[in-house]
């Protein structure tokens, strides 16, 4: 796959990720600019907060999950794109969600979209994230702290996956690379953590 095709793939994935689900639903259904309401975050939690509707939150969550899942399924299993390129393009999906140029780069925090990607790449990551989140929430009763704790530990989940081979999900792909999967996971951790860090800084100022 030549450089031009790789570039186009990454751009398309960024554009898919940048579809502002929460913004569109809140604007069209409630005439609310979610970037100016609540935390300003264009994601599930803030959409529930500003619309006072759990149904809206569930819809936003599901669509944002699909934004991560569908492109990865297409790239890996239909187009048979090399695993390393898929990892780069998947990173672009999350960057698009978090920094959509449609909204002056004010987007979400990337959790749902990243979860959608990991559900395809390795569902054990999502399972581990969920367990840690539940334990953290039971102790702290704070969604942001639980999100951050579960996310920061993603490299630990990856370490355990690499250590115990039965946890590695390759789907029989000839181009599968544990190196690129691990690198992608670390980069995604940093992207999501940086967005949550912004919230903690705002709350302390």
- Tokens for 61, please give them: 């969550």
- Cα 44 to Cα 19, 59, 81: the distances in Å are 14, 8, 31
Domain tally for the chain?
Answer: 1
Question: In this predicted model, what pLDDT tens digit does every residue of 169-178 receive, in sequence order?
Answer: 999 999 999 9
In degrees rounded to 5, what are phi and psi of residue 79?
-90, -15
- Tokens for 151, please give them: 């996310």
Distance CA 51, CA 87 (A): 34
- Tokens for 171, please give them: 């789907």
Q: Give the pLDDT mean for 183-199.
A: 90
Residue 75 pLDDT grade (very low, low, confident, very high; cuts 50, 70, 90): very high
- Cα 48 to Cα 179, 184, 195: the distances in Å are 37, 30, 19
Q: Which domain holds residue 188?
A: 3-203
With contact defined as beta carbons under 8 Å apart, do 115 and 69 qualify?
no
Distance CA 15, CA 59 (A): 20
- Tokens for 27, please give them: 């604007």
Q: What is the pLDDT of residue 203?
A: 56
Q: What is the pLDDT of residue 188?
A: 97
User: What is this structure's pTM?
Assistant: 0.94
Question: In this predicted model, what pLDDT tens digit does every residue of 104-115 receive, in sequence order?
Answer: 999 999 999 999
Greater confidence, 199 or 188? 188
Q: What is the pLDDT of residue 205?
A: 42
């Amino acid at each position: 796959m030549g450089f031009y095709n790789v570039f186009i793939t990454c751009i398309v994935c960024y554009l898919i990720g940048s579809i502002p689900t929460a913004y569109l639903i809140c604007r069209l259904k409630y005439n609310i600019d979610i970037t100016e309401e609540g935390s300003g975050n264009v994601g599930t939690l803030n959409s529930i907060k500003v619309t006072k509707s759990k149904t809206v939150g569930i819809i936003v969550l599901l669509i944002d999950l699909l934004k991560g899942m569908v492109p990865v399924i297409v790239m890996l299993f239909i187009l048979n794109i090399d695993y390393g390129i898929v990892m780069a393009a998947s990173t672009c999906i999350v960057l698009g969600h978090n920094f959509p140029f449609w909204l002056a780069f004010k987007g979400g925090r990337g959790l749902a979209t990243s979860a959608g990607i990991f559900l395809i790449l390795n569902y054990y990551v999502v399972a581990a994230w969920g367990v840690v989140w539940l334990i953290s929430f039971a102790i702290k009763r704070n969604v942001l702290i639980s999100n951050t704790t579960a996310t920061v530990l993603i490299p630990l989940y990856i370490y355990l996956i690499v250590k115990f081979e039965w946890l590695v999900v390759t789907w029989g792909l000839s181009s599968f690379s544990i190196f690129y999967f691990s690198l992608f996971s670390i980069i995604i951790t940093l992207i999501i953590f940086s967005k949550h860090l912004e919230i903690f800084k705002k709350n302390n100022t």
